[in-house]
Amino acid sequence: MKETVKNIIQKYVNISCESTFIVGFSGGWDSMCLLDIMNKLSKEYGFLLVAAHLNHNWRGKESELEKERCLGFCEDNDITFISDTLQEGIKASELVAREMRYDFFKKCAEEFEADAILTAHTKSDNAETILYRVIKGTGLNGLEGIREVRDLGGFKVIRPILNFSRKSIEEYCIKNELYPNNDSSNNNTKYARNNIRHNIMPAIKVINPNIEHSLITLAEIAAGNNKIINELMENIEKQITVGDKWLTQNFLILNAAIKQHFVYKLLVNNGLEPSFGKIQEIINFISENQKSKTGKTLSVTNDKWLFVSNKYTYFVHSDSYTKIEEELVINKAGVYEFAGQYKIKILENTEKVEKYPKGISNFAYANLDNVKFPIVVRTRRNGDIINPFGMQGKMKLKKYFINKNIPEHDRDKIVLLCNDKEVLWAVGAGVSEKFRHNGSTPPYKLEVEKIADDNTR
């Protein structure tokens, strides 16, 4: 078993004296087995082994005792131990528990600069997961079950004992005189996975004693078919995508099965649990709003929305709605910084202009004789108006944005140069008639540059 664990880890990361591995350690049979094997390997290679224990704080004193036993095992075996306890009142659900565990493991990996995170999923866990997904409704991707490796915010999560059954894990623990915790909640069949383990799987084994093997074989077949499908889908994807956006009309002409595939992938790539119902809801929403010029949004989670317009379909995250509340007052030409995010340039121009920029550009030419200082740089406010270039009269900025087909979630991000309530330039959208000038050498050139943050400099 030790050699198998070593070989699986080495498929993805190097094992050396300079390595660091985080092992998710509940103290149960599976994680006790994995930690013991890793401890033996650490004595051979000299790497740092860290046992990460999260107390979900759902079972009071019992949870505390389990934590103490985990700590005792690590102290006896000279294993670095790190733990955390969740606050009371967090919803006791399998999904919440999973999310909290992986958040904790990622923090541990960051703290210790780990090479990988190891979790003790087994062949039995995998079979139960596949059956659970079949019951809930899943596609071919879901039938692949638990994967041997996955990414978690830049860290590899490896499952080195995924090919071993729960029975073989128990035999290892008994043979090596290990004394795992027995979590009482594992017997509570109100949790779906426990119900599958204790009731449904035994009933199926009456019909097929080798059900675990059958489900794992199904997962392998699904994985093989998915590789073929993904290769074919890559070519189709090129026809419907521009960057991270879908071309709405190109997506809609795909057949139903291919649409479902792409929506499934979209959900997974955004960290969401796909289901047939959610996939169909999204397809229907895209179809219903395919003619919208300014677009509509569908709330998918608390901080994610799907945006659909007649041109594009894409996910919008909560930070897309962050509005800059600051204002910058400019009293004369010069170079200024706005909200720590933009550089504003208003400079005299001496060059002859052969071709003027389009309205969507981040620079513009202007005659400021018709403009009074101060010029205020800000984002939109209620009551804003604009006199669009080439037009007589003024209109509400909101209507101007609608006419320009600018999505609602993008409007608060547009930088404006204003005289009081009148917009002189909506950067990337268009300029005011007040900027009009005669001649081929306009008096001023205006430019707005995004300042690169520390991560992109």
Q: Are residues 128 and 6 in the same domain?
A: yes
Q: 366 lies in which domain range?
A: 328-450
Give CA torsion, residues 61, 63, 65, 69, to 10 deg. Answer: 180
Q: What is the pLDDT of residue 437?
A: 80
Count the domains in the chain: 3
Q: Same domain, yes or no, for 83 and 184? A: yes
Chain centroid offset of residue 299 CA: 15
Q: What is the pLDDT of residue 455?
A: 41
Please check whether residues 142 and 200 belong to one and the same domain: yes
CA neighbours closer than 13 Å in the CB half-sphere of residue 252: 17
Indicate whether 380 and 444 sit together in one domain: yes
- Residue 172 placed within a domain: yes
Question: Which pLDDT score is estimated for 89?
Answer: 66
- Shared-domain flag, residues 279 and 138: no
Looking at the fold, whether 160 and 87 belong to one and the same domain comes out as yes
377 and 330 Cβ atoms separated by less than 8 Å = yes
The one-letter amino acid code at 33 reads C
Q: Give the other-Cβ count within 10 Å of 300's Cβ.
A: 19
Task: Give the closest residue to 371 by CA, choosing from 321, 429, 426, 435.
Answer: 435
Give residue 454's pLDDT. Answer: 46
Residue 364 to residues 133, 180, 295, 346, Cα–Cα distance (Å): 55, 70, 28, 10
Identify whether residues 300 and 369 lie together within a single domain: no
Q: What is the CATH number of the domain that holds 335?
A: 3.50.40.10
Contacting residues for 46 by C-beta, under 8 A, at least 6 apart: 16, 17
Of 212, 229, 257, the residue at which a domain comes to its end is 212
Q: How far apart are CA 298 and CA 210, in angstroms?
A: 44
Tokens of 385: 């108006």
Considering the domain boundaries, does residue 435 fall inside one?
A: yes
Rounded to whole angstroms, the Cα distance separating 83 from 101 reads 11
Contacts of 206 (CB under 8 A, 6+ apart): none
Q: Which residues of the chain have pLDDT under 50?
A: 454-457
Domain with residue 284: its CATH number is 3.30.465
Residue 200: DSSP 8-state: I
Q: Is residue 103 part of a domain?
A: yes
**The last residue of a domain, from among 269, 294, 320:** 320
Query: CA nearest 35: which of 144, 120, 154?
Result: 120
Give domain status of residue 217, yes or no: no
Residue 455 domain flag: no
| Residue finishing a domain among 194, 212, 230 | 212
What CATH number is given to the structural domain containing 169?
3.40.50.620
Tell whether 69 and 203 lie within a shared domain.
Answer: yes
Contacts of 167 (CB under 8 A, 6+ apart): 124
Residue 220 lies in a domain: no
| pLDDT value for 448 | 93
CA distance linking residue 280 with residue 422, whole number of Å:
44
Q: Is 264 inside any structural domain?
A: yes
Per the listing, tokens 């909290």 go with: 100
**333 and 186, same domain (yes or no):** no
Structural domain includes residue 44:
yes
Residues 249 and 197 in one domain: no
The CA distances from residue 166 to 28, 36, 424, in Å, are 11, 16, 70
Instruction: Please check whether residues 51 and 144 belong to one and the same domain.
Output: yes
pLDDT number for residue 457: 35
Q: Could you give the angle at which helices 256-269 and 211-240 cross, rounded to 10 degrees?
A: 100
CB 420 within 8 A of CB 352: no
Query: What is the largest distance, in Å, between two alpha-carbon atoms of the chain?
Result: 92
Q: What is the pLDDT of residue 411?
A: 87
For 407, the 3-state DSSP assignment is coil
Q: Do 207 and 262 fall within a single domain?
A: no
- The three-point CA angle 272-273-275 to 5° equals 130
CA proximity to 360, closest of 395, 396, 318, 389: 389
